[in-house]
Amino acid sequence: MKKVFLLLAACAFTTAAIAQTPETEVKTRDNGTTKVVTKTGKTNVGQALDNTADAAGNVAKKAGHGIKKGTQKVGRKVKHGTKKMEAKTE
């Protein structure tokens, strides 16, 4: 059982290492010059995790902005109502 677990762990580690290796690509332009492009992208799982974290951050930022705007509106209404009440009492 222990050997099977170690074998699976080793396979998972090597798969992750292979997925992170950079790819080198040579592109030839129309004028004959060449350009070497190196891609060091993330795995699909890593990119999905980053996208999820970004989306959660965006939702939190929008919610915070909405709460702030709502409290500012309530504050203005209260201030306006207080001024009206003071004007009536005088």
pTM over 0.95: no
- Burial letters 48-81, b for 16+ CB under 10 A, else e: eeeeeeeeeeeeeeeeeeeeeeeeeeeeeeeeee
Identify which has the larger pLDDT, 76 or 88: 76
What's the pLDDT at 32? Answer: 86
Distance CA 1, CA 32 (A): 58
Identify which has the larger pLDDT, 80 or 42: 80
Q: pLDDT tens digits, residue range 31-63?
A: 888 888 777 666 677 777 777 877 787 788 888
Distance CA 35, CA 45 (A): 29
Do 46 and 62 form a contact (C-beta atoms < 8 A)?
Answer: no
